[in-house]
Amino acid sequence: MARFAYGGQALLEGVLMRGRDAIGVAVRGPDGRIFVAQEPLASLLHRNRFARAPFFRGLIVLYETLVVGTRWLMRSGSIAAAGEGVAMGGGTVAITLLLTIGLAVGLFVLLPLFLAQAATNAAIAGGQSLIQHLVEGLIRVAIFVGYLLVVSRSSEIRRVFQYHGAEHMTIHALEREDPLTLQNVRRYPTAHPRCGTEFLVVFIIVSILVFSLLAGQDLLISIVGRVVLIPVIASVSYEILRWGAKHREQRWIRWLFLPGIWLQGITTKQPDDSMIEVAIASLHEALAANGETAPLGSLDPPREPIPDLKALADDRAGVTAIDGSTERSATADPPPR
């Protein structure tokens, strides 16, 4: 029987893998150990047939991915920097998620509208709705690509992009039932057709088409209309991406989705062996949580459950008072990067 199409997400010094019923997470701790966790998915998709209907299922998946992904992204940061941060509650996660969505809407949806209006009104007397819409689309694409290029220059983000690559490579190996070893995983590309980067590319293209319905409207209607149409664009984009992933063996469909593969050249990087090891550990946890096993002969990295963050911080510090002085244990130093 064919496996469920596992997906994933890069974390801070870690990887999250999602299966049908549960997720598996693996994070590299500050002392080099791999910490793991499993978590069931109480998804509405499992309880409601209506939620699984086309166009509705995309919104459910995206919402759950954002909530679960944001929570584990923040928790992985606390684990990777144990002793420098504290665990964050649900309220903090909700605020962070709202701020992230607000920033994305402002940067990629509304800012292009304002810039296009200013550019076309300055160049053409009275402006022209069609020209303004085309300029807005070009500005949206430029902002998106420019944003990825800028953030990819950060050393921290680059490591996240390397874990992103490790996640994709490991899933490629699983989909071909190859044993999950460092050597096997290394043979696969960092790009994957079900990547969130491809979703964003499809989202931008669909948004240019859908927002054309608002061309020539008053500014207030244009702003409200763009915000209201975001869920519609997201659901349509999800279905297009899902369809494209199922038919990627056809050459013209591969060509159609090439922009998403090209952009993954920015959002994924070649990982080192320690990152692939974390991705393999994460996939082992996800498979176990979903009642499956890895292909025979797979690497099974040593790992342990995620400890209490305070205990992890104390363990990292490794400070013992001796006659009024302190000594740091040999395990306190982080692994070389």
Question: What does the pLDDT look like over 245-291, one tens digit per residue?
Answer: 888 888 888 898 889 899 999 999 999 999 999 999 999 999 999 99
- Please, what's the largest Cα pairwise distance for the chain? 81
The residues near 267 (Cβ < 8 Å, ≥ 6 apart) are: 148, 152, 161, 164, 195, 197
pLDDT band at 30 (very low <50, low <70, confident <90, very high): confident
pLDDT band at 337 (very low <50, low <70, confident <90, very high): very low
Mean pLDDT of 88-92: 56
How far the first Cα of the chain sits from its last, in Å, is: 40
> pTM for this structure?
0.81
Residue labelled with tokens 């054309």 = 212
Burial class (CB in 10 A: 0-12, 13-18, 19+), 63: middle
Q: With beta carbons less than 8 A apart as the criterion, state whether 272 and 162 touch.
A: yes
Contacts within 8 Å (CB) and 24+ apart, 184-193: 185/276, 185/279, 185/280, 186/276, 190/164, 190/165, 190/264, 190/268, 190/269, 190/270, 190/271, 191/261, 191/264, 191/265, 191/268, 192/168, 192/264, 193/244, 193/245, 193/248, 193/257, 193/260, 193/261
β-bridge mates for residue 320, sequence order:
327
In 3D, which of 246, 242, 269 has the Cα closest to residue 62? 242
The pLDDT tens digits of the residues spanning 93-151 come to 567 667 777 888 888 888 888 888 777 665 554 446 777 778 888 899 999 999 999 99
Residue 69 in 3-state DSSP? helix
Domain boundaries, the chain: 7-332
In 3D, which of 301, 266, 83 has the Cα closest to residue 160? 266
Cα–Cα distance measured from residue 6 to residue 3, given in angstroms and rounded to the nearest whole number: 8
Mean pLDDT of 196-207: 90
pLDDT at 327 over 60: no
Residue 254 in 3-state DSSP? helix
pLDDT at 21 over 60: yes
Mean pLDDT of 191-204: 89
DSSP 12: T
Cβ neighbours, 10 Å, residue 2: 5
If you compute the radius of gyration of the chain from its CA atoms, what whole number of angstroms results?
22
DSSP E strands in 131-261: the ranges are none
The pLDDT tens digits of the residues spanning 63-84 come to 888 888 888 988 888 887 664 4
Question: Over pLDDT 90: what percentage of the chain?
Answer: 41
- Number of helical H runs and strand E runs in the chain: 12, 7
